[in-house]
Structure 1
Amino acid sequence: MAPETTATLFCIPHAGGSAAHYTQLRSFLPDTLRLHPLELPGRGRRHNEPLHTSMSTLCNDLLDAIRPEAEAAPYAIFGHSMGGLLAFLCAMRAAERNMPLPRRLFLSATATPESPRFMPDITGLPCAQPSFEELSPEQLWEHVVEMGGIPQCVASSDEFRSYLMPVLHADFTAVTSWKPQGTIKPIPVPITVFLGEEDFLTKEKAAEWQSLTTVDFSLHLFPGNHFYLQENWAGLADCIKQRLGQR
């Protein structure tokens, strides 16, 4: 008899990403931890739905998917880059709606909402650099490819580019247009931050997440850049299992 599922790990993708990004993680997790990659509108199995350009709308969409399982069993949320910010916003909104809170947030390569040095998400551009609105489609595409978000063999496909560019534009619009409403208050949810050692986001900036939890905080570094997880699924899974008390 298969072990009973004791918790669900929801995973939120980065800007331009889809639920399929987390396929490899599944094989490194125990049967007692159910992996549930969340698909955002306009991509993957939801490619026929309209894209959203509002973080608030995306957060509501994610909570609609999370709520049924969250009310039935323990859960945690993992989010990479834009997905990390969405994970934190989901936890905030869950508290506002008196939903069960996640056992832990796993925030990967994500700057805090109020970080003054970097635009949120995978742009990686210091504020002194051109804003997202000033980037041409070619510059945006080249930047994402350079950061490792798209394999070179795939990036050369005109068909894939025509599919992904509207998704990237919608996601970047959502992230760069979002502004905190007042002061962000700490939440009673443990936070674990993952970061690539060569990411544009520094260890010191990533550590600022500690001020946004009233409970446990931890920070783990991995070899690699902003998309370090592509070569570190096993190590990532080990950290997740340890923090959730899974075997």
Structure 2
Amino acid sequence: MDKIKLCCFAYAGGSVAIFRDWKDYLDPRIELLPIEIAGRGKRMNEGLYKDMTAAIDDVSAIVKREIKDGPYALFGHSLGSRIVYRLAQRLAADPSVPLPQHLFFSGAGAPHIIRADKKQYALMDDAEFKQAVFHLGGTPREFFEHPELMDLFLPILKNDFRIAETAVTPEQIQPLDTDISVMLGREDDLSPEQVAGWEKHTRKTHKSYFFDGGHFFLHAAKPQMISLINTTLLGTRATPRTAYP
């Protein structure tokens, strides 16, 4: 049996480094493929995307090369979920590409529901943005304590938020022919409508799962999340390489 490739996308400001130890929990029959987007990690010297379309142009070319010889699934957290959603739409429109076996949307509400009270991070001035991101969590404290790091990191983070906040109107919804799983933090600031709204984006099955924590629950809940991924992709609870803590 071919390994299932799991292409993963990080949250705003994140890099593939956040998936470094996922192999310790994934079943050996799942091949981890973290996808680095431009402007960070090994791609630090590449220009930032001007919009979501440019991001999908880039990552779709990468993913197509990786998935040409076997089954695959897509995972994304926060910004990564937005990328996975648009990427899945792009791949579904290409008859030469097989559909993903499953889509995992983590830390994000349905893309067509924009709450009136939702903070628009990309529109904030730098001081307000830094404060808002600090309270959101997820960004290492040292970035806020060392101005030289923040000066380097801020344009990347702000651009990521701008892309992530690209809206999808209800008229643009094109339900996918792929099962989806939505992973959410119980303390994250999402409305019931944002959670339930994902069902409009697939003709197949849609399930939501809640984990302890806020927006960045994926760090503390990593063993439970990856156990769910193993079970979903393989149909059985797999034994990880490293025992869950």
Q: TM-score scaled to structure 2, two decimals?
A: 0.89
CA distance in 1, matches of 2:166, 2:73: 27
Aligned to 1:50: 47
Q: Read off the aligned partner of 1:6 and give its amino acid letter.
A: K
CA distance in 2, matches of 1:94, 1:10: 13
Residue 136 of structure 2 corresponds to residue 147 of structure 1 = yes
Aligned to 1:109: 107
CA deviation after TM superposition for structure 1 residue 152, in Å: 2.4
Secondary structure of 1:72's counterpart equals: coil
CA distance in 1, matches of 2:166, 2:223: 35
CA distance in 2, matches of 1:189, 1:54: 26
Aligned to 1:10: 7
Q: Structure 1, unaligned stretches of length 5 or more?
A: 119-125
CA distance in 1, matches of 2:141, 2:122: 25
Flag the 1:237–1:153 CA change in 2: closer, same or farther, 3 A: same
Aligned to 1:172: 161
CA distance in 2, matches of 1:141, 1:77: 30
**CA shift digits 1:35-63 (9 cap, x unpaired):** 11110101111001011131111011111
Aligned to 1:32: 29
Q: Read off the aligned partner of 1:191 and give its amino acid letter.
A: I
Residue 206 of structure 2 corresponds to residue 208 of structure 1 = no
More deviation, 72-81/156-165: 156-165
CA deviation after TM superposition for structure 1 residue 159, in Å: 2.6
CA deviation after TM superposition for structure 1 residue 132, in Å: 3.7
Query: Identity, % of aligned pairs?
Result: 29
Q: Read off the aligned partner of 2:218 and give its amino acid letter.
A: L
Residue 148 of structure 2 corresponds to residue 159 of structure 1 = yes
Aligned to 2:74: 77
Flag the 1:7–1:44 CA change in 2: closer, same or farther, 3 A: same
Q: Read off the aligned partner of 2:107 and give its amino acid letter.
A: A
| 1:5–1:34 contact (8 Å) kept in structure 2 | no
| 1:54–1:178 contact (8 Å) kept in structure 2 | no
Q: Structure 2, unaligned stretches of length 5 or more?
A: 239-245
Residue 225 of structure 2 corresponds to residue 227 of structure 1 = no
Secondary structure of 1:93's counterpart equals: helix
Secondary structure of 1:192's counterpart equals: strand
CA distance in 1, matches of 2:142, 2:209: 30
CA distance in 2, matches of 1:203, 1:25: 30
RMSD over equivalenced CA pairs, Å: 1.9
Q: TM-score scaled to structure 1, two decimals?
A: 0.88
